C-alpha cells in the first residue's frame, strides 16, 4: 500500500522506494507492529515531503490502496499461482517459483503470446523495447524471495533484454478481515404510531460497561445480593444523562441560530468538536438552553457548501477517498508554489488563475488571399432581399429552420486536389448548397502541382486550375463553379479527371478560345498556382480532401460526401446558438465584421500542428530547490534526482533575450539538439528568427545533445555559442550566433580558423564537462536519444522530432500563441506584483506556468470570502511557513451536511495544515425538528495502535449516551459504489429500543461488493438496447455476475470486487443479435471486443459501452416472444440457495410459482416466514421465493436454508443498488417501498415470466397458482382494489376525495399488498422505465407519493394499465366487512388508522391459524439451534 501511494508520484519514485525496502520484512519478526509501521513510514519519508507523509498515513488509515493490492491478488489468482509458492514469475503464460528457471523460460518466450498489461501496472524503467519478452513478477515486496527475483530482473531490464512488471501477491493472506472507514452511520428515530416490534427475546451476554464512572459488571460480582438495586441505579444514571423531552414549537424556531451561537462562543479549537457533537447527537441536545443570537445573517439559509482551495466539494458525490485524491492533486501544486517561494495571498491568486483548458477544436485562420470564395453573402446581389441585422438571430423561428441573414456567419473552405476521385462529389455538394441559397459562404483552395515546367496538357490538375481562372476572368466565380460541376458530370463514376476530358470540354463550351493560350505552356492563366499548395503546406493540415467549417477542420470520417451535407447543416444549427449568445451578451454588434469576430476567438491558430496542439502534453517539473547547482562536476550531477537536475539546468541556463520594457520574459524556449548537424543548426536558427519577429517578452536558451560522447571536436559550435554568451552583450550575441549558424561559417569552424584557436584556449577546456551533464539531462529527463532534437516551451516538452521533421518559424509563432494564451500572460501579471529582479522573475514565470498547466484541469475555482465576518465565521489559522490548504465551509449546524462535514473538517485539520473558515449559515423559523437522527462519520487521520503497540481492531461508529425512549433504526450511508450488508447482530437493527436492551447493541456490516456501473447505447439508433444482458467474470470463470440494461440512460450495474474483469455480452440472444463496438472508461483499448475493466479503488467506476446489431440480425428484437435460449435461467447477480440443481433442460419444463417479497426488521421477518408457510400449505406446485437481500437481518439469512430444507422450496436473494441518478429516498421505509415497484424489470432473470408479490404480513388461504394463471387481459400487472364494504371507515378512505378522486375518474384505487406481474409484457412496454421516469418527476416534491409503492402505479394507471383482480384475492379487516372474510383468498394485516392496534395482537385476533403457524416455526428454529448450530448464528427462538 505504501508503494502504491508513492507510485502515484511517478514510476521512478516507486522503484527507488522498492530498492530501499526490498528486504524489510526481516524486521517484522522482532518488532512490534507499531515500530515496524514507523520504520516503513520513515523509509517512505525519504521520497516524500512532510505533507505527503501525512497524506500517506491518512490513506493507510482509510485503507485507500487496499483495493489496488487486492486487484493484483485477484489477477494473480487468475494466473493461477503454482502450489506453495511465496513468489513466482509468469513469462508469457508459463510460471516458475525459482530464479533459476528464468533463463530457460525466456528462451522460448517469444513464440508465446505476450501477457495483457494494465494501465496501472508497475514497469521497471529500463530501455523501452517492444520486441523483448515481458516478465511479470508476483511477489510481496520486502520478502527475501522478492529481493532475489528483483535483483535478477532489474539487472536484465536495465540491459534491455526483458520488460519487468511487478504485481503485488501475498501467498497466504491472513483470513482476518479489516475494518474500513469512510462511511456514515445513522440512527434515525422511527414513528411508533403503529407498534411494529417483535416481542421475541434476544439472548445477551453480560456486560461490564461503565456508566458515569460505575463498572456495573464488577459491582454485581462483588455484591450479588444487591443485583436489583444496582440495576435500578444503572437505569437511573443512564436516564439522567440522556433524557429526551419533546420541544414546543416556539422553542424550536431559533434552534439553528442557538446552535451556531453556542459553537461560536467556545474556544476556537473546541468549536469543531462542539459542532460535531451538536449535529451528530442533536435529538438529545435539542432542549439545551442556547443563548439567542441578536443579529441574523443574510445568506441562502440552511445550505451547506465546502470549498478546498476554491474547488467546490459536493458532499453528496464526494467521499473521503475522492477527497484524499483532491488533497493529493492540490498538494502537488501547493508544494510546488511553496518551493518556488510563493507565499500568502499570492498562492491563492495564482491558484485561481483561469488556466485555459486544452482545446480540442482549434480553428485555422481563413482570412487568407489564396482562398477562392465562390460567393459572398454580404455583398452578392442574389442575397439582396435578406435582412442584415445580427439581432435577427434572436428572432424566434420554427425549430430546425436556418435563418437567412446577410452576414457571413457560416464559412466552408474546401481544400481539393482536382484530380482526386473524392473531389467530384464535394464540388457537387458545394453547388447544391449554393443553388439552394443556404446561407453558407463557400471557398476553394485547389492544391495542384507546383513545378514550373508542367503545363495543362501534361497534368489535368494544372489544366483544371488554368481553365477555372479563364472562366472566372471571362465571367465570374459563381459561373466558374457551375462550369466545374458540368465538367465533372462528364467524368464517369470511379474515374478521375483526365487531360482529354478537359480539352474536349474546353472545345465544346468555348469553341472560340485558344486552348494552347489557356492551358498550354504560355498560359496567361497560371497566376498564383503555387499559392494553394503553399498555403496547404503551411497550414499543417492532414490528407486531402479537407473541409474547414468556420476554420475548424472536419475529421476524416466526416468528409464522406453522403454524411457531409447533414454534418454541415448540423454545424450551422450548433453555431447559431453560439452566435445568439454572443449577440445577446453584446460581444457581436451590428458594426462587427462577423468573420473578423470569428477569427479573433482564442481557439484560432495560424497553423495546425498536431505536435503543438495535441492534448497529450508533457511538462518538466521545476519545483525542486537543489542543494548544489554545479553542472561542471558530471559525477555529482548524475546522482541528482530528475527534479534536481531540471532545477540546476534552469539555474545555469543562458538566454538570447527580447525582453519586455520591464525586463521580464513571459515565454522561455529551450532548444535542444546537436548543433554539429545541419538539422540542429536549422532548429536554432528558426528559433532566433522567431525571436527577432516576436513580440517582446521571449527568451531562447540552448541545450546541447551531442550524437556521440562529448569531446572538444564534436562540440565546437555549441562552445562558440556559449563563449559568446559569456563575452558579448545580448544583441551582439544573437547576431554573432546567427552568422555562426549559417552553413558556410559552420564549415569554416570545422576547417579550423581563428575562432577554433580561441576556443582551444584553456578558458573553454572546462566547457566540455558541463556538456556531459546536459547530455545526461537529455537522456534521463527529456528521454531523448543521442543527437535528437526537442523544443521546450515554458517547461512543456515537444519532441523528440523525427530526423526529417521541420520545426519552422511559423511553428514557433504558433507555440508562442498557445503558451501565452494558456496561462503565461496571467502568471506574469501576478509575478510582476511580487517585485523581483527580471532574471528571477522570468524564471519564476516559466516555473509557475509549467506547474499550473501540468496540473490536471479541474473545475473553476471560486473565490469565497465573507464581509463583516466577526460574529458568524470561525477562523482557524494555518501553521506558519508550511504548505497550507485554504478550506471554506458554509454550514447550518443542524443539517445532514453538518453531521458529515464536522467530522471531515476535524480529520482534515489533523491530516494537513489548513487555513479554515467556517461560516454559520442558519435557517430561521424552524417548524419541525431539523434533525431526527443520530449520526457518526467513521474516519480517522492515522492508523491507531493500542497501548501494547498492536494495531487497534479498526475504526467503528460508536454511539454513546443515547436516550432510551425513542425507537431507532440503523442506516448505513456508504460511498456510491459500495454494496454492504449486515453479517452479524443478534439485535433487530430496524427496531432498536434501548430500554429493552441491557448491554451494548453490536452490529457488523461487510462490504460485500464494489459496483461496476455503466451506460450502454446502440450506435445505429442512439437508443439504449433494452433487455440486453452483460456478464462479468474472469478468464477462467467468465460468468460470475450478470445484469440487464435499463432504458433509462441505458444504465446497468454489476456486482464485482477489486480485480481485473472481462465484460461480455451474455451467451444467448444478447450475443446472437448484438456485438460490442467501442467502450470508454475501461482498461482496454476502445475498439477491442474484449472489454477489460480493472476495479482497484473504492471510487465509483462508470463505463460507457456502445453496441450494434449484427448485420443479419437488424430486424430482430431482444424482447420478442421467441423462446429464451438455454442458460438464461442462471440468475442475475444472486446466490441460489436451497432447491434442486437440475440441469437447464429439465428446469425449463418445471412449473414453478415465483413469489417475491421484501421485509426488514425481526417482526416482519417473523411475519414473512408465516406468509411463506401459508403459501406452501395451499399449493402443490413447486415454489421459488425471491427476497430482497439488501435489508434482511443476518439471522434470517442464516435460518432460511434450514427452512427451505424442511419444507422443500427454492429461494434466491436478489439485490440491486439504488442508482445514483434516481432521486434518493432518505427514510428506510420509503426506500423499501421503492424496491417493491421500481426495479421489477431488472431484479429477476429474463426467464422468469410471471412473479407474484406478496406482502410479508399476509396470510394466504388459496392456491396462488390460480392467481399466476389468471388472464391479465394485456395489462402488465394486476392489483386488487381497496374494499368499500366496511362502512364505518368511510372517513379514512382518502382516495374517495381530492386529487385521487379526480385523477382516477371511474377507476379504482388499488392496494399494493398483493400483485401479479407479467414480466414479459412489463419489459416489452418498458413499464419499469416509465415508472422510474414518473417517480423521478414526482419525487422531487417531498409531499408527493406518500405511500410510494402504492401511489406510483395508481398515479400511472393511464399510462401503464392495471388489471383489477377479483375482490376476494385480498381481504383486510380495516376496509372489508366481516361477511366477505369467508371467501377471502388472502388476508392482509393492514394498519387500522382508527384503532392503531399493534400488528401482533391483530394477527392473533383476526387469523385463527396464525398462532399455529407461529408455533410450528418456533419449534423448527429451536430444533435447528439444538442441532448444535454455532451459538452466534441463531439466537433463541428468533421467531
SS3 track for 83-145: CCCCCEEEECCEEECCHHHHHHHHHCHHHCCCCCCCCCCEECCCCCCCCCCEEEEEECCCCHH
Q: What is the model's pLDDT at position 609? A: 83
The answer to whether the beta carbons of residues 1061 and 1095 sit under 8 Å apart is yes
What are the grid coordinates assigned to 508, written together? 465544346
- Under DSSP, the state recorded for 823 is I
Q: What is the model's pLDDT at position 1150? A: 66
Q: What is the model's pLDDT at position 1172? A: 93
Residues 6+ apart with CB under 8 A from 988: 197, 198, 202, 1161, 1162, 1163, 1193
Q: Could you tell me where the beta strands, DSSP code E, fall in 182-323? A: 183-189, 210-211, 214-215, 305-308, 311-313
Confidence grade of residue 601 (pLDDT, cut at 50, 70, 90): confident
Q: What is the model's pLDDT at position 235? A: 63
Please return the burial class of 270, using the count of CB atoms within 10 Å of its CB with bins 0-12, 13-18 and 19+. exposed
pLDDT single digits (tens) 235-258:
666 555 445 555 666 666 677 777
Question: Is 767's pLDDT higher than 50?
Answer: yes
The CA-atom distances, in angstroms, between 706 and each of 149, 709, 773, 784, 1244 are: 37, 7, 11, 11, 69
The CB-based long-range contact list for 947-956 (8 Å cut-off, 24+ gap) reads: 948/32, 949/32, 949/33, 949/34, 949/35, 950/32, 950/33, 950/34, 951/33, 951/34, 951/37, 953/179, 954/178, 954/179, 954/180, 954/181, 955/61, 955/179, 955/180, 955/181, 956/179
Confidence grade of residue 1141 (pLDDT, cut at 50, 70, 90): very low
Q: What is the model's pLDDT at position 793? A: 93
The answer to whether the beta carbons of residues 447 and 536 sit under 8 Å apart is yes
Q: What is the model's pLDDT at position 1187? A: 92
Q: What is the model's pLDDT at position 201? A: 62
User: β-pairing, 992-993 with 967-973?
Assistant: antiparallel
CA atoms within 13 A on the CB side of 1180: 0
- Under DSSP, the state recorded for 82 is P
Confidence grade of residue 445 (pLDDT, cut at 50, 70, 90): very high
The more confident residue out of 522 and 193 is: 522
31: helix, coil or strand?
Answer: coil
* Closest listed residue to residue 147, CA positions, set 25, 22, 29, 26: 22
Q: What is the model's pLDDT at position 1134? A: 37
Q: At what angle do helices 642-652 and 767-780 cross, to 10 degrees?
A: 140
The answer to whether the beta carbons of residues 1030 and 1064 sit under 8 Å apart is yes
623: helix, coil or strand?
Answer: coil
pTM listed for this prediction? 0.78
Main-chain dihedrals φ then ψ at residue 1318, nearest 5 degrees: -90, 95
Q: Which helix (H) or strand (E) holds 1037?
A: strand 1037-1044
User: β-pairing, 885-891 with 914-920?
Assistant: parallel
Q: Which ranges of 397-525 does DSSP label H, i.e. alpha helix?
A: 421-435, 460-474, 477-489, 499-509, 515-519
What are the grid coordinates assigned to 52, written together? 505527503
Average confidence (pLDDT) over 263-281? 77
The CA-atom distances, in angstroms, between 644 and each of 259, 621, 623, 631, 781 are: 52, 9, 8, 11, 11
Most distant CA pair in the chain: distance in Å? 134
DSSP letters, 458-482, are T-HHHHHHHHHHHHHHHS-HHHHHH
Angstrom distance (rounded) from CA 1351 to CA 1337: 14
Angstrom distance (rounded) from CA 1000 to CA 1004: 13
Angstrom distance (rounded) from CA 835 to CA 825: 16
- Under DSSP, the state recorded for 248 is P
What are the grid coordinates assigned to 153, written together? 530482473
Average confidence (pLDDT) over 98-120? 83
The CA-atom distances, in angstroms, between 939 and each of 237, 445, 903, 943, 1376 are: 30, 64, 7, 11, 53
Q: What is the model's pLDDT at position 624? A: 86
Question: Is 559's pLDDT higher than 50?
Answer: yes
Question: Is 703's pLDDT higher than 60?
Answer: yes
Task: Please give the share of the chain, as a percent, with pLDDT higher than 70.
Answer: 88
Beta-bridge mates of residue 1042: 1031
Least confident of 31-40, 262-271, 965-974, 1366-1375: 262-271
Confidence grade of residue 1144 (pLDDT, cut at 50, 70, 90): very low
Question: Is 1002's pLDDT higher than 60?
Answer: yes
pLDDT single digits (tens) 126-160:
766 778 888 899 988 888 888 888 988 888 888 88
Give the best-scoring range by mean pLDDT among 37-51, 441-455, 722-736: 441-455
Q: What is the model's pLDDT at position 1243? A: 87
Question: Is 1259's pLDDT higher than 50?
Answer: yes
pLDDT single digits (tens) 797-822:
997 888 888 888 888 988 888 888 87
Please, what is the average pLDDT of the chain?
A: 82
Question: Is 1432's pLDDT higher than 70?
Answer: no
CA angle 665, 670, 676 (to 5 degrees): 140
Question: Is 1146's pLDDT higher than 60?
Answer: no
Confidence grade of residue 1186 (pLDDT, cut at 50, 70, 90): very high
> Per the omega criterion (within 30 degrees of 0), is the bond before 80 cis?
yes
pLDDT single digits (tens) 571-590:
898 899 889 999 988 888 88
Q: What is the model's pLDDT at position 292? A: 31
Beta-bridge mates of residue 1032: 1041, 1063
Residue at grid coordinates 494494465: 118
Beta-bridge mates of residue 891: 920
The more confident residue out of 196 and 1072 is: 1072
Average confidence (pLDDT) over 1354-1360? 85
* Closest listed residue to residue 996, CA positions, set 235, 209, 285: 235
Average confidence (pLDDT) over 1215-1220? 88
Q: What is the model's pLDDT at position 1131? A: 39
What are the grid coordinates assigned to 837, written together? 529582479
Average confidence (pLDDT) over 174-193? 82
Main-chain dihedrals φ then ψ at residue 1193, nearest 5 degrees: -80, 155
The separation between CA 211 and the C-alpha centre of its own chain, rounded to angstroms, equals 47
What are the grid coordinates assigned to 681, written together? 543548426
Confidence grade of residue 295 (pLDDT, cut at 50, 70, 90): very low
Amino acid at each position: 500500500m505504501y508503494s502504491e501511494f508513492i507510485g502515484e508520484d511517478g514510476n521512478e519514485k516507486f522503484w527507488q522506494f522498492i530498492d530501499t525496502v526490498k528486504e524489510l520484512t526481516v524486521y517484522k519478526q522482532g518488532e512490534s507492529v507499531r515500530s515496524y509501521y514507523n520504520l516503513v513510514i520513515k523509509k517512505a519519508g525519504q521520497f516524500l515531503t512532510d505533507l505527503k507523509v501525512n497524506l500517506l498515513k491518512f490513506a493507510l488509515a482509510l485503507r485507500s490502496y487496499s483495493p489496488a493490492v487486492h486487484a493484483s491478488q485477484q489477477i494473480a489468482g487468475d494466473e493461477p499461482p503454482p502450489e506453495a509458492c511465496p513468489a513466482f514469475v509468469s513469462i508469457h503464460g508459463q510460471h516458475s517459483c525459482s530464479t533459476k528457471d528464468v533463463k530457460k523460460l525466456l528462451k522460448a518466450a517469444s513464440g508465446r503470446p505476450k501477457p495483457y498489461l494494465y494501465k496501472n501496472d508497475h514497469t521497471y524503467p529500463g530501455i523501452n523495447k517492444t520486441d523483448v519478452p515481458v516478465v511479470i513478477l508476483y511477489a510481496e515486496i520486502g520478502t527475501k524471495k522478492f529481493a532475489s527475483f528483483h535483483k535478477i530482473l532489474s539487472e536484465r531490464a536495465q540491459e534491455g533484454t526483458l520488460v519487468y512488471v511487478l504485481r503485488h501477491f501475498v501467498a497466504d493472506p491472513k483470513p482476518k478481515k479489516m475494518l474500513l472507514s469512510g462511511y456514515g452511520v445513522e440512527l434515525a428515530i422511527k414513528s411508533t404510531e403503529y407498534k411494529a416490534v417483535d416481542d421475541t427475546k434476544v439472548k445477551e451476554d453480560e456486560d461490564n460497561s461503565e456508566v458515569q464512572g460505575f463498572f456495573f459488571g464488577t459491582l454485581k460480582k462483588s455484591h450479588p445480593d444487591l443485583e436489583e438495586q444496582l440495576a435500578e441505579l444503572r437505569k437511573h444514571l443512564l436516564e439522567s444523562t440522556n433524557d429526551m423531552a419533546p420541544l414546543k414549537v416556539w422553542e424550536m424556531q431559533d434552534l439553528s441560530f442557538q446552535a451556531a451561537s453556542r459553537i461560536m462562543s467556545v474556544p476556537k479549537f473546541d468549536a469543531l468538536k462542539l459542532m460535531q457533537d451538536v449535529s451528530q447527537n442533536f435529538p438529545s441536545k435539542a432542549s439545551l438552553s442556547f443563548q439567542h443570537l441578536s443579529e441574523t445573517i443574510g445568506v441562502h439559509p440552511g445550505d451547506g457548501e465546502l470549498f478546498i482551495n476554491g474547488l467546490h466539494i459536493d458532499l453528496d458525490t464526494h467521499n473521503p477517498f475522492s477527497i484524499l485524491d483532491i488533497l493529493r492533486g492540490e498538494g502537488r501544486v501547493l508544494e510546488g508554489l511553496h518551493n518556488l517561494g510563493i507565499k500568502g495571498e499570492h498562492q491563492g491568486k495564482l491558484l485561481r488563475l483561469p488556466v485555459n483548458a486544452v482545446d480540442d477544436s482549434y480553428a485555422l485562420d481563413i482570412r487568407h488571399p489564396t482562398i477562392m470564395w465562390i460567393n459572398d453573402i454580404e455583398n452578392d446581389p442574389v442575397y439582396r432581399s435578406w435582412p442584415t441585422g445580427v439581432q435577427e438571430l434572436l428572432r424566434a423561428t420554427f425549430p430546425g429552420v436556418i435563418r437567412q441573414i446577410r452576414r457571413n456567419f457560416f464559412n466552408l473552405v474546401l481544400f481539393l486536389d482536382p484530380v482526386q476521385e473524392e473531389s467530384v462529389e464535394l464540388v457537387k455538394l458545394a453547388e447544391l448548397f449554393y443553388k439552394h441559397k443556404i446561407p453558407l459562404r463557400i471557398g476553394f483552395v485547389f492544391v495542384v502541382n507546383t513545378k514550373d515546367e508542367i503545363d495543362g496538357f501534361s497534368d489535368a490538375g494544372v489544366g483544371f486550375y488554368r481553365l477555372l481562372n479563364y472562366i472566372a476572368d471571362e465571367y465570374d466565380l459563381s459561373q466558374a463553379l457551375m462550369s466545374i460541376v458540368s465538367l465533372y458530370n462528364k467524368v464517369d463514376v470511379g474515374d478521375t479527371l483526365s487531360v482529354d476530358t478537359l480539352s474536349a470540354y474546353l472545345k465544346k463550351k468555348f469553341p472560340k478560345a485558344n486552348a494552347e493560350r489557356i492551358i498550354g505552356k504560355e498560359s496567361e492563366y497560371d497566376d498564383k498556382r503555387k499559392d494553394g499548395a503553399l498555403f496547404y503546406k503551411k497550414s499543417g493540415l492532414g490528407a486531402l480532401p479537407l473541409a474547414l467549417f468556420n476554420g475548424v477542420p472536419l475529421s476524416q470520417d466526416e468528409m464522406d460526401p453522403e454524411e457531409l451535407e447533414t454534418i454541415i447543416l448540423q454545424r450551422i444549427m450548433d453555431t447559431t446558438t453560439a452566435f445568439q449568445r454572443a449577440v445577446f451578451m453584446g460581444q457581436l454588434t451590428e458594426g462587427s465584421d462577423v468573420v473578423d469576430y470569428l477569427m479573433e476567438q482564442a481557439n484560432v491558430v495560424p497553423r495546425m500542428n498536431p505536435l503543438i496542439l495535441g492534448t497529450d502534453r508533457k511538462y518538466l517539473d521545476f519545483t525542486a530547490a537543489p542543494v548544489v547547482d554545479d553542472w561542471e562536476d558530471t559525477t555529482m550531477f548524475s546522482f541528482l534526482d530528475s527534479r534536481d537536475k531540471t532545477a540546476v539546468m534552469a539555474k545555469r541556463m543562458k538566454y538570447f533575450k527580447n525582453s519586455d520594457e520591464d525586463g521580464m520574459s513571459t515565454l522561455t524556449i529551450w532548444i535542444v539538439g546537436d548543433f554539429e548537424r545541419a538539422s540542429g543548426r536549422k532548429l536554432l536558427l528558426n528559433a532566433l528568427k522567431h525571436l527577432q519577429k516576436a513580440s517582446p517578452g521571449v527568451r531562447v536558451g540552448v541545450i546541447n545533445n551531442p550524437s556521440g560522447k562529448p569531446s572538444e571536436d564534436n562540440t565546437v559550435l555549441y562552445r562558440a555559442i556559449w563563449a559568446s554568451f559569456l563575452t558579448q552583450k545580448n544583441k551582439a550575441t544573437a547576431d554573432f550566433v546567427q552568422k555562426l549558424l549559417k552553413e558556410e561559417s559552420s564549415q569554416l569552424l570545422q576547417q579550423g580558423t581563428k575562432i577554433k584557436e580561441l576556443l582551444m584556449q584553456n578558458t573553454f577546456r572546462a566547457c566540455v564537462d558541463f556538456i556531459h551533464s546536459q547530455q545526461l539531462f537529455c537522456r534521463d529527463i527529456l528521454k531523448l536519444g543521442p543527437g535528437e532534437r526537442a523544443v521546450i516551451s515554458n517547461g512543456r516538452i515537444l519532441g523528440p522530432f523525427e530526423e526529417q521533421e521541420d520545426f519552422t518559424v511559423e511553428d514557433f509563432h504558433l507555440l508562442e500563441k498557445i503558451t501565452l494564451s494558456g496561462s503565461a500572460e496571467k502568471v506574469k501579471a501576478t509575478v510582476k506584483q511580487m517585485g523581483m529582479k527580471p532574471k528571477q522573475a522570468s524564471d519564476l514565470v516559466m516555473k509557475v506556468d509549467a506547474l499550473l498547466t501540468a496540473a490536471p484541469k479541474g473545475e473553476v475555482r471560486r473565490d469565497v470570502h465573507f464581509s463583516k465576518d466577526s460574529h458568524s465565521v470561525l477562523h482557524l489559522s494555518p501553521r506558519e511557513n508550511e504548505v497550507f490548504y485554504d478550506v471554506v465551509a458554509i454550514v447550518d449546524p443542524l443539517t445532514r451536511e453538518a453531521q458529515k462535514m464536522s467530522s471531515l473538517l476535524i480529520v482534515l485539520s489533523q491530516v494537513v495544515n489548513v487555513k479554515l473558515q467556517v461560516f454559520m449559515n442558519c435557517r430561521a423559523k424552524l417548524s419541525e425538528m431539523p434533525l431526527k437522527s443520530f449520526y457518526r462519520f467513521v474516519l480517522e487521520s492515522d492508523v491507531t495502535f493500542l497501548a501494547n503497540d498492536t494495531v487497534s481492531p479498526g475504526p467503528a461508529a460508536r454511539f454513546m449516551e443515547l436516550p432510551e425512549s425513542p425507537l431507532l433504526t440503523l442506516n448505513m450511508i456508504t460511498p456510491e459504489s459500495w454494496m454492504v450488508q449486515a453479517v452479524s447482530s443478534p439485535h433487530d437493527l430496524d427496531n432498536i429500543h434501548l430500554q429493552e436492551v441491557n448491554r451494548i447493541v453490536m452490529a457488523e456490516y461487510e462490504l460485500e461488493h464494489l459496483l461496476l456501473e455503466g451506460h450502454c447505447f446502440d450506435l445505429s439508433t442512439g437508443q439504449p438496447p433494452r433487455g440486453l444482458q452483460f456478464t462479468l467474470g474472469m478468464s477462467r470463470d467468465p460468468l460470475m455476475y450478470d445484469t440487464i440494461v435499463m432504458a433509462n440512460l441505458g444504465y446497468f450495474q454489476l456486482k464485482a470486487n477489486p480485480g481485473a474483469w472481462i465484460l461480455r455480452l451474455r451467451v444467448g440472444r444478447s450475443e446472437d443479435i448484438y456485438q460490442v463496438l467501442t467502450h470508454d472508461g475501461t482498461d482496454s483499448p476502445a475498439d477491442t471486443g474484449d472489454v477489460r475493466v480493472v476495479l482497484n479503488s473504492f471510487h465509483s467506476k462508470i463505463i460507457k459501452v456502445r453496441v450494434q446489431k449484427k448485420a443479419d440480425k437488424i430486424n430482430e428484437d431482444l424482447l420478442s416472444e421467441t423462446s429464451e435460449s438455454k442458460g438464461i435461467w442462471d440468475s442475475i447477480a444472486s446466490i441460489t440457495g436451497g432447491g434442486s440443481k437440475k440441469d437447464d433442460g429439465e428446469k425449463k419444463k418445471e412449473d414453478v410459482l415465483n413469489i417475491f417479497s421484501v421485509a426488514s426488521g425481526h417482526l416482519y421477518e417473523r411475519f414473512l416466514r408465516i406468509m411463506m408457510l401459508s403459501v406452501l400449505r395451499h399449493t402443490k406446485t413447486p415454489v421459488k421465493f425471491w427476497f430482497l437481500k439488501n435489508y434482511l437481518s443476518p439471522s434470517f439469512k442464516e435460518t432460511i436454508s434450514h427452512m427451505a430444507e424442511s419444507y422443500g422450496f427454492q429461494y434466491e436473494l436478489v439485490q440491486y443498488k439504488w442508482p445514483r441518478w434516481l432521486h434518493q429516498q432518505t427514510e428506510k421505509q420509503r426506500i423499501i417501498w421503492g424496491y417493491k415497484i421500481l426495479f421489477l424489470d431488472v431484479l429477476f432473470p429474463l426467464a422468469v415470466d410471471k412473479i407474484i408479490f406478496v406482502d410479508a404480513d399476509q396470510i394466504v388461504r388459496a392456491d396462488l397458482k390460480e392467481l399466476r394463471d389468471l388472464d391479465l387481459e394485456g395489462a402488465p400487472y394486476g392489483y386488487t382494489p381497496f374494499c368499500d364494504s366496511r362502512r364505518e371507515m368511510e372517513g379514512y378512505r382518502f382516495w374517495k376525495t381530492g386529487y385521487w378522486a379526480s385523477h382516477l375518474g371511474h377507476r379504482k384505487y388499488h392496494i399494493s399488498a398483493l400483485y401479479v406481474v407479467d414480466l414479459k409484457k412489463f419489459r416489452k412496454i418498458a413499464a419499469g422505465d416509465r415508472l422510474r421516469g414518473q417517480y423521478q418527476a414526482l419525487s422531487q416534491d417531498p409531499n408527493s407519493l406518500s405511500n410510494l409503492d402504492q401511489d406510483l402505479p395508481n398515479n400511472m394507471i393511464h399510462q401503464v394499465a392495471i388489471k383489477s383482480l377479483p375482490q376476494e384475492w385480498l381481504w383486510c379487516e380495516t376496509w372489508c366487512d366481516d361477511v366477505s372474510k369467508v371467501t377471502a383468498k388472502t388476508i392482509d394485516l393492514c394498519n387500522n388508522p382508527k384503532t392503531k392496534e399493534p400488528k401482533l395482537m391483530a394477527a392473533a385476533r383476526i387469523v385463527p391459524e396464525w398462532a399455529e403457524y407461529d408455533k410450528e416455526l418456533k419449534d423448527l428454529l429451536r430444533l435447528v439451534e439444538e442441532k448444535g448450530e454455532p451459538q452466534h448464528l441463531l439466537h433463541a427462538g428468533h421467531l
